Chains A and B, each alone.
Chain A
């Protein structure tokens, strides 16, 4: 892969360490405008590849875990991990495309505990589940919300979770009323 656009001052992109770490895994190299080496991997081998990138290629920092929804296309989801090697000042980006009906990928919180929040946000916004995550709850939206707002089939105007609030409120008020009744008797 040739890097056409490299910001001034950054070292030349060296893909050899990445290629060596990913040896044996079917990879597809993708050229991106920002010059960050990008590989697309099969979903079931992503965790293995991330482990190898961390241990063999010194990518010790996970910058980002997120996703893209290419809705009418299939497979619609594209999960993205972006890693940084502090030792070599180099980045790498990993793509994977889980299947539409059961969007599950392996968690990387065992490698980078800090990825937990990114994965929770990704689950909240896209509905992609991260197998092995110890606390995969919604991050930004209230628990029990039925939708995943960053999906492309989510309505543009949005769906307010006021029903959840009302249910919570009604339940709480019911408790108060019953406590009040019990107290007066």
Chain B
């Protein structure tokens, strides 16, 4: 992805779009507003992360809002039961695009030690997950690392592809920024299963796979 310094800008082809995308991504990655969905003990570590000692404000993600309408980063912190899964999915659907998901802790990543009839075996059964954080519960450092990984991922996204369609970016582009989501539970596929950051034609291909 291009840089914000004019000296690095490549004038050849897609100049305007690349610069705009870099600017959008810079804004998005440094102003993530987390939705703290504390479902169990991971929620305590989440509070520590937002508190003064670990201070998520250093990365621009301290504005935790308790309304999904104001958030763009869903942090699923803790054991998700099937009864709670509906609420989690509704929360996710109520968040405006663009949105990202961190599955915090082994329970929301894979079900963890709860190989149980009541627990969802991984949040990716019901919604697309961007970053998984291992740990039971993970230390706040680990989640901050996940946030940084997510930021570097947002940096590589192509937000304008959804508006202008596919265009050839400059040479030396790091990664495609395309993300695909395959529900691991064989849930029905529809356009709602598609990863929100993926251009529509890629999602069509995924659906046919």
Closest partner residue, chain B, to A138 (CB atom): B83
Query: What's the minimum C-beta distance from B97 to chain A, rounded to whole angstroms?
Result: 15
Query: What's the minimum C-beta distance from B122 to chain A, rounded to whole angstroms?
Result: 11
**Binary per-residue interface labels of chain A (91-114) against chain B in the complex, 1 for a CB within 8 Å, 0 otherwise:** 000000000000000000000000
Query: What's the minimum C-beta distance from B200 to chain A, rounded to whole angstroms?
Result: 15
- Interface members, chain B 89-131 (any A CB < 8 Å): 89, 115-118, 120-121, 125-126
Contact: B187 with A164, CB < 8 Å? no
Contact: A165 with B85, CB < 8 Å? yes
Bound form: Cα–Cα A80–B62 in Å: 49
Contact: B83 with A158, CB < 8 Å? no
Contact of A158 among B116, B120, B187, B190 (CB under 8 A): B116
Neighbouring B residues of A157 by C-beta, 8 Å = 115
User: Interface residues of A, CB < 8 Å — how many?
Assistant: 20
Closest partner residue, chain B, to A161 (CB atom): B82
Given the known interface contacts A165-B86, A165-B126, A168-B86, the answer about A160 and B121 at a Cβ–Cβ threshold of 8 Å is yes
Any chain A CB within 8 A of the CB of B188? yes
**Binary per-residue interface labels of chain B (65-94) against chain A in the complex, 1 for a CB within 8 Å, 0 otherwise:** 000000000000000011101100100000
A residues adjacent to B (C-beta < 8 A)? 140-142, 147, 149, 157-162, 164-166, 168-170, 173, 176-177
Closest partner residue, chain A, to B125 (CB atom): A162
User: How many residue pairs between the two chains, A and B, have CB atoms under 8 Å in the bound complex?
Assistant: 46
Bound form: Cα–Cα A149–B118 in Å: 9
Neighbouring B residues of A176 by C-beta, 8 Å = 192
> For the complex, would chain B's binding face be called helix, strand, loop or mixed by DSSP majority?
loop
Given the known interface contacts A141-B118, A149-B117, A158-B116, the answer about A173 and B190 at a Cβ–Cβ threshold of 8 Å is yes
- Interface members, chain B 34-86 (any A CB < 8 Å): 81-83, 85-86
Given the known interface contacts A141-B83, A142-B83, A168-B86, the answer about A162 and B118 at a Cβ–Cβ threshold of 8 Å is no
Given the known interface contacts A141-B118, A169-B188, A173-B190, the answer about A160 and B86 at a Cβ–Cβ threshold of 8 Å is no
Bound form: Cα–Cα A177–B190 in Å: 10
Neighbouring A residues of B23 by C-beta, 8 Å = none
Closest partner residue, chain B, to A160 (CB atom): B117
Any chain A CB within 8 A of the CB of B185? yes
